[in-house]
Structure 1
Amino acid sequence: MSQKHHGAWLIAASAAGFATLGILIKSAFSGGANISTILAGRFLIASFFLFLYLRARKTPLCIGRRSSLQLMLMGMVGYGGMSMLYANAIHYLPASLTGMLLYTYPALVTVIALVLGEESFNAAKGVALVVCSAGLVLLLGASFEGARLEGVLSVLGAAGIYSCYIIIGNRILKNIDPLVTSLWVCASAGFTFLVYALATGGLTVDLAPVGWLSILGIALFPTLIAVVGFFAGLRLVGATNASIISMLEPLVTVLLSAVLLGERITALQGFGGAVLLFGGLILQLWGNEVRHETVTEV
């Protein structure tokens, strides 16, 4: 197997890992966990194993004071805020719909980059944004009957925060090892949720076994393994190809939700999701100058 094919398989496996997040969060909720407990456990456990992995690789973990402050803010406010909104959306929406709606972020990245003057407008971006908007309208039009507005706003808020996170990350973190970045981001997010849970009395340790197993699964599959697999594949196939292959994530989420949770999507929902992903594909292939090679993914 060539390095490029090996990298493609790593990215596909990473996308499959990320796709389990919504399903495992629902499972953790059923085991008695709340959002702050889930996210504190997710990021702290992932940080621990990531620390061991980087130490085994003898990777230096120290970075400059300015970079460390930037990463902590990105973890506490950016990735932490996005993860909280995503988990909150899972309370109100099916995991399959949440996964598809999150993929509005490629279009949002382009819009923000255009507003900030980091990208120039071209025909491909115009077409892609129209296609993404049409997909979102179709998806929401088909889904609002069974969806709670709180969930829709939460996941779209998560997509908005993640879009800003990507742009900021690409601007300030180009010279730092992505896995070191992931460690700092995950650790700062984890400690933030732990302190918040302790301060508000929201830390729940009396969980059913399925709750603890689900939190461990969240730390391992859609966080640690998926992140390491993504960056390992990224080095072999490049940022553009990695971003395109990663679009398997919402499709795998839909399939797993159907098999494991019994969720079903209508034909119009499926068509809207496909249109939305097609718009994102246009951006990746022909229109997007802001590459998705930053620190962690959902």
Structure 2
Amino acid sequence: MDERTVGTAYVLASAVGFGATGIFGTLASDIGLSIPTVLVFRFAIAAVVLWLLLAVRGRLRPLPGRTFVYAIVLGVAGFGAMSGFYFWGLEYLTAGLVAIVLYTYPAIIVVVTIATNPNRISRTLVAALCLSLGGVALIVGADPTGADPRGVLIVFAGAVSYAGYVIGSERVLESVDPELLTAHVLPAAGIAFLAIGLAMDAFAVPAATETTAWGVLAALSILSTAVPILLLYTGLPRLGASRAGIVSTAEPAVAVVLGAVILSESVTIATVLGGGLVIVGVLLIHRRT
């Protein structure tokens, strides 16, 4: 197979892994694991996997002072905040709907671009923004019970956080390897949720005999965090950022399908149409940028 085909396979596999996040999050909630507990172990286990891989490759090293501070901020206010809102949203929405709403983050980046650099905006990007936000509005308006507005607002806050993470990461990644940056972002997010969990008395280490709990935590941390991150970084050089972004739009579709198959979540026409609008909007954004 040529490099582009191999890159597509890596990025698509990454999208499948990320798309399963909501499934593991829902299963964790069903067995009584709190959000801080889930996210502390998710980030801790995934970070250890990345550290070990970087160490084996001889690429594990501390970040320079200012870059280290940026990584902490990105971990706490960006990736960490997004994850917190994501898992909180699962208490109100299906895994599929959470993934769809979160995927409005490229449209939010367009909004930031409009505000900070109007010269980069085109009719195509404005249309993409309208399609993405219109898709979410369609889902909520057509099925306000199934798409709880509270959950939509919570996950939308996560999308804003993730958009900030993406924008903030761009400058840092000009001088830092993405895997090394992520290896610092993940523990920063984990420590933040450990502090939150201890402050709220909501953090608890599952007993060694709770095999189901540890199985869910391990699957979330490895299959839906560490492995997808590594697959994405492996596929990016072969495929390019723009094409990788297009392939990654499979993520919300995967979440909807897995939610229906594994969790028996209902899939309405509004969900399909609204999700389709969001994906088309994202495709337009990636095609234009």
TM over 0.5: yes
Say if 2:51 and 2:60, in contact at 8 Å, map to a contact too.
no
Q: Which residue of 2 aligns with 1:134?
A: 134
Query: What is the aligned counterpart of 2:270 among 263, 268, 271?
Result: 268
Instruction: Give the Å deviation of 1:73.
Output: 1.1
C-alpha distance in structure 2 between counterparts of 1:267 and 1:148, whole Å = 16
- Letter of the 1:231 counterpart: Y
Structure 1 residue 201 and structure 2 residue 201: aligned?
yes
Say if 2:139 and 2:147, in contact at 8 Å, map to a contact too.
no
Q: Provide structure 1 residue ranges, at least 5 long, that are not aligned to the other structure.
A: 289-298
Structure 1 residue 83 and structure 2 residue 61: aligned?
no
Say if 1:28 and 1:210, in contact at 8 Å, map to a contact too.
no
- Letter of the 2:105 counterpart: Y
List 4+ stretches of structure 1 deviating above 4 A.
none
- Letter of the 1:262 counterpart: S
- Letter of the 2:120 counterpart: S
SS state of the match for residue 59, structure 1?
coil
- Letter of the 1:254 counterpart: V
Say if 1:29 and 1:211, in contact at 8 Å, map to a contact too.
no
SS state of the match for residue 145, structure 1?
coil
C-alpha distance in structure 2 between counterparts of 1:175 and 1:274, whole Å = 36
Instruction: Give the Å deviation of 1:122.
Output: 1.1
Number of residue-to-residue matches in the alignment: 287
Could you tell which deviates more after superposition, 162-171 or 205-214? 205-214
C-alpha distance in structure 2 between counterparts of 1:170 and 1:49, whole Å = 24
Instruction: Give the Å deviation of 1:136.
Output: 2.1
CA deviation vs aligned residue, 1:111-146 (integer Å, no higher than 9, x gap): 112212276111211221222232222122123122
Q: Which residue of 1 aligns with 2:223?
A: 221
CA deviation vs aligned residue, 1:87-109 (integer Å, no higher than 9, x gap): 00001111111111111111111
Q: Which residue of 1 aligns with 2:235?
A: 233
- Letter of the 1:213 counterpart: G
| Structure 1 residues 268 and 202: CA distance shift in structure 2, 3 A | closer
Say if 1:112 and 1:164, in contact at 8 Å, map to a contact too.
no
What does 1:117-132 align with in structure 2 at a 5 Å threshold? 117=117, 120-132=120-132
- The CA RMSD over aligned residues, in Å, is 1.4
- Letter of the 2:221 counterpart: A
C-alpha distance in structure 2 between counterparts of 1:57 and 1:87, whole Å = 33
- Letter of the 1:248 counterpart: A
Instruction: Give the Å deviation of 1:148.
Output: 2.6
SS state of the match for residue 265, structure 2?
coil
Instruction: Give the Å deviation of 1:202.
Output: 1.5
Q: Which residue of 1 aligns with 2:258?
A: 256
| Structure 1 residues 164 and 118: CA distance shift in structure 2, 3 A | farther
Say if 1:27 and 1:210, in contact at 8 Å, map to a contact too.
no
Instruction: Give the Å deviation of 1:210.
Output: 2.1
- Letter of the 2:58 counterpart: K
C-alpha distance in structure 1 between counterparts of 2:143 and 2:113, whole Å = 29
Instruction: Give the Å deviation of 1:46.
Output: 0.5
C-alpha distance in structure 2 between counterparts of 1:206 and 1:96, whole Å = 27
Q: Which residue of 1 aligns with 2:108?
A: 108
C-alpha distance in structure 1 between counterparts of 2:183 and 2:189, whole Å = 10
Instruction: Give the Å deviation of 1:151.
Output: 1.1
C-alpha distance in structure 1 between counterparts of 2:270 and 2:200, whole Å = 42
| Structure 1 residues 117 and 137: CA distance shift in structure 2, 3 A | same
- Letter of the 1:132 counterpart: S
- Letter of the 1:107 counterpart: A
Say if 1:132 and 1:276, in contact at 8 Å, map to a contact too.
yes
C-alpha distance in structure 1 between counterparts of 2:140 and 2:99, whole Å = 13
C-alpha distance in structure 2 between counterparts of 1:278 and 1:127, whole Å = 10
Q: Which residue of 2 aligns with 1:58?
A: 58
Q: Which residue of 1 aligns with 2:35?
A: 35
What does 1:87-98 align with in structure 2 at a 5 Å threshold? 87-98=87-98
C-alpha distance in structure 1 between counterparts of 2:130 and 2:96, whole Å = 23
Could you tell which deviates more after superposition, 118-127 or 256-265? 118-127
CA deviation vs aligned residue, 1:180-219 (integer Å, no higher than 9, x gap): 0110000111122123323332212246432221111111
- Letter of the 1:216 counterpart: A
Could you tell which deviates more after superposition, 89-98 or 205-214? 205-214
